[in-house]
Structure formats: C-alpha cells, structure tokens
Structure 1
C-alpha cells in the first residue's frame, strides 16, 4: 500500500474554498483520509479524539489561529509530535520564526499549486509513493 494511502491529514481553514483546494490537492496525490475543521478550536477537538499524522492549517482563523493551534497541539501528549504545516498569504519572517519556536514543520505560502503542496507535505512526512 502506498504511503499516501496510510496517511491521515487534518485540514483546518475557515474558508470553504481554501479547505477544498487543499483537500483536492491531497486527494490528487493519493491522500484519501482527510478530516476538515472550520477553525482551530474544531481542529483541536477533533485531534484530541482522533489524532492525524499531519495538520495543514491556515494561519488567519477566528477563535484560534494557526499558531495557537500549533501551540495547543504541542502541549498535548497524543498530538505533540504530529507534523504541522502552516498555510498563509502572510509569509513574513516574524510569523515563520514564531511558528518555528513552537515546532512548525513547514510553511506553504498562498497562493499554492498542487505540486507545491505535494512538495511541502513530502518535506514533512517523506515520499508519498
């Protein structure tokens, strides 16, 4: 079984279109086990009950932004070592450095292509095929 088919991914984004673009990209390269959350709080709750291998999260979300979600995941035993990719149109150095302090694994700038999404995911989890 290809690695992509074994991988469980959480996509957290408050924008339906962005969630679907990420999900479509993941599905296109064989990742079928994808959960979605409409904000960081919902993603955290889902991760506490059913952890995934990788979280792909938007930065700018209501209630709990991507960095706050990352911090919360790193503070809980079942999720402290999960892979984490931050997706944002605001790719300034301070944001990325803040994420790295909390264990950010990778960063994907918006807009992105399916190929850049794939490369970003593979840099965190390894080759998907």
Structure 2
C-alpha cells in the first residue's frame, strides 16, 4: 500500500493549508488515510487555540495611541499592540505567529481582516 500523497488538489480550510495540516498530523493521516479535512482543521484549531483567541478578545478594550499602535486594557492588565509590526508586549503574537487576544481586539476595532495578520505559515494556499 502506497501512503505517499500524489494528488495536486488543494483545499481551502480557513487560515490553515493542507500541507501544514499534513505535516502536523502525519501520524493521524497515515493511520487513517480517509480522515476528513474538517476533522484535521478542528484538531488544528483546538491545538493552536485559534478558536480565531477571539473569545478572549472581547474582554480587551483598545485605545488608539499613535499611528498603528494601541494600548489595550482589561481590568488592571495593560499591553501595547503595534499592528504595523505584528507585535504585542505580551509577546504571544511574535512567538506563535497568531494574533493574541489583545491584537485581535485591535484588529476588530479597526474593522480589518484578521487573516492578513496571521503568519504565512498558517495561511491557506490560494491555488
């Protein structure tokens, strides 16, 4: 039995692309070649805590500071988010490549597309 994947078809699966999913879940795919893409996406979202961190973003209040910088507050906690450089003073965005809740609150506040702030490693293939 040949377990080598040879088709050239790609799928749109949100911000994650099929090659990344395959690499991350290689053992799952090898043990169950008929696993559905939706299952892999759900597992990846859960593993990466994507589910989009957005629910925590609503607790944060962004206040415009300068240019593309925001001071984001929740209770007594305060962070600085710079949308132009993709940085937050909590450092989670820089370390993971996925916007932290503080950054998501700023992105939502500005009405911008969240996907454009996600590291290319996680983005879907456009072909």
TM-score (norm 1): 0.30
Q: Which has the larger radius of gyration?
A: 2
TM-score (norm 2): 0.30
Quick check: which one's helix share is greater? 1
